[in-house]
Structure 1
Amino acid sequence: MTSQDLVVAEPSFRLVAAGYGLRWWGEGWRSFTQAPLPWVGLALALLVLLWLIGELPLGGVLSQWLSLPLLAFGVIFAALLRQRATRAREITPPGMPLEPQNEGALNASAKAWSGRIGPLLLASLLVLAIGGVVGAIIVMGLGALFGLGLASMGALAKMMTPGMGMAAGMGAMAGSVLTLLLLVLLALYLFSVAFWFVNTLVAIGGVRPWDAVKLSVRAEFANLAPITLFTVLLLPISLLAMLPFGLGLLVLFPVLSGASYASYHDVFGDAAAG
């Protein structure tokens, strides 16, 4: 075996239309309706586990670190359900009801997930580390810009007449703060969706953690329109899921898992299969 044989080609990704953001919601719902009882059981188990982890010392940090690997279980389960639905569709005669064989899907998903737990934990650690660095940079940048704004306001006030200086300075300061706030919110949003595909690339595609982080950032910016449409709908849907004592989360988690796999499948297809 030569050194060239050890080089693994980086998976390629596609650009999809903005409307795919709606399509992913539909695929997520279909994934849930294919096996609702296993999905609800899995969602309940993961939510309880995350709650228990949160009660431990440093539970907040632990839950953030472990949430990505735990949620990857749902992505793997959604992928397996979709594969079985596709197989059933291929062998079912036209006009006959589609009956995918879902028995043993959870056990098979657990086996596949356990084989990827190490890379998933490392990928989650990388995401947390990058998030900490970016957060620190944003905080320091805000402090520096705020100090600059105060200095500018003072200089402007001295240049203006006594009756107008403070009003003009405050107006300029307010405009600067609003612009800065919008830029910070935009930066936070872009960062929050930059790792959209990390879970699926590691859990389904078998991509190495650091390569998955880099590839996710590139694919996310290339497909920002559908991801933004999906995210815009996520906020009201999440609020609705929280209304009946949070019971809607037992449905929202499966739908998000199915949607996550659908987005990976549409953008990467089989190119990242490992």
Structure 2
Amino acid sequence: MSQDTAVNPYDAPAAELDAATASSEIRFCPPKGIRGGEGFSIFGDAWQIFKQAPWLWIATTFSLFILMMLLSLIPIAGQIATALLVTPMAAGLYMGAEEIRNGGSLKFGHLFAAFSSGKGGRLMGFAVVYLVLYIVAMAVPLLALGQGNLLPLLLGQEAGNFNPAGMMAGFAVMMIVGLALSMVYWFAVPLIALQDQKMFQAMGNSLKGCLKNIWPLTLYGLAMMFWMIVAMIPLGLGLFVMIPVLYISCYTGYRRIFTE
């Protein structure tokens, strides 16, 4: 082999750095199944992001909580504003997590990033559609299966032919429908905010992502309950950490299921 064609193992790589960077960029994918143990890893991923700016995460998350609490004190208008704003502002937290994941930094203004990016209207529209679906889904089982029992009691009237089996069936249907709606909502917000998906496309993909990962997400839920109990032991002070980590974990769960 001639000296001209010899390769020096200590030379810089011939490939361009831009190409290497592009290959490591995030790649979106349809919802995929993950291993069961990755359900626990979702919290580990969230903790790593939280550690990058813990005090700012606490400040932004509890600013959102306080704003929602104050708005809810205003009759009717405040409650409507709360329902409309909480979704796009939560999306802003996911955008902040994405910024950190990509090497940037969290800013307090990320709370309003969904509005500044032009996605606030779509996210508020999603919040309205979801709220209507939730109200209808909860009302129909009660009226259909418990109309002779629960409705008169709520109106202060004497119940007719009381049917415990019908009441139990009504509440069972409510729980199943409520679980399905939670799956529809879970990943729809980051899919709209970070992948620019249309509302109903994001809702369908969120449901598919949850159904493909029942076991990992069940383990995630168990881990969440454990850490919530731990967080409440020291006079509830651990919630200052746990609540931001919960928000971030919605983002990290999305990253594991919808990206490669």
TM-score range, shorter chain: 0.7 to 0.9
Measured after TM superposition, the shift of residue 54 of structure 1 is: 1.1
Measured after TM superposition, the shift of residue 210 of structure 1 is: 2.4
Measured after TM superposition, the shift of residue 234 of structure 1 is: 2.6
CA contact (8 A) 1:80 1:109 kept: no
2:122 is matched with 119
Larger fraction in helix: 1
**Unaligned segments of structure 1, at least 5 residues:** 1-9, 85-100, 148-153, 155-169
2:101 is matched with 82
2:180 is matched with 190
Partner amino acid for 2:129?
A: L
Q: Taking structure 1 as reference, are residues 60 and 241 closer, same or farther at Cα in structure 2, changes over 3 Å only?
A: farther
Matching residue within 173, 196, 199 for 2:189: 199
Count of aligned pairs between the two proteins: 220
Partner amino acid for 1:67?
A: V
Q: Taking structure 1 as reference, are residues 112 and 70 closer, same or farther at Cα in structure 2, changes over 3 Å only?
A: closer
Measured after TM superposition, the shift of residue 182 of structure 1 is: 4.5
Q: Distance in 2 between matches of 1:214 and 1:141?
A: 27
Percent identity between matched residues is 24
Q: Normalising by structure 2, report the TM-score.
A: 0.72
Give the structure, 1 or 2, with the largest relative contact order (CA under 8 Å, sep 6 or more): 1
CA contact (8 A) 1:194 1:221 kept: no
Q: Distance in 2 between matches of 1:208 and 1:198?
A: 9
Measured after TM superposition, the shift of residue 269 of structure 1 is: 0.6
Q: Aligned with 2:44: secondary structure?
A: helix
Q: Aligned with 1:17: secondary structure?
A: coil
1:137 is matched with 140
Partner amino acid for 1:23?
A: S
CA contact (8 A) 1:72 1:200 kept: yes
Partner amino acid for 1:128?
A: L
Q: Distance in 2 between matches of 1:134 and 1:250?
A: 33
Q: Normalising by structure 1, report the TM-score.
A: 0.69
Segment drifting more, 28-37 vs 224-233: 224-233
Q: Aligned with 1:15: secondary structure?
A: coil
Check if 1:216 corresponds to 2:206: yes
Q: Distance in 1 between matches of 2:70 and 2:198?
A: 29
Deviation per CA, 1:142-191: give whole Å up to 9, x if none: 316979xxxxxx9xxxxxxxxxxxxxxx9xx7677656644543432233
Matching residue within 223, 227, 230 for 1:237: 227
**Unaligned segments of structure 2, at least 5 residues:** 1-27, 151-160
Q: Aligned with 1:207: secondary structure?
A: coil
RMSD: 3.0
Q: Distance in 2 between matches of 1:110 and 1:70?
A: 5
Matching residue within 248, 252, 255 for 1:258: 248
**Counterparts in 2 of 1:45-124, with a 5 A limit?**
45-58=63-76, 59-84=78-103, 102=105, 105-106=106-107, 109=110, 112-113=113-114, 114-115=116-117, 116-124=119-127
Q: Distance in 2 between matches of 1:180 and 1:107?
A: 44
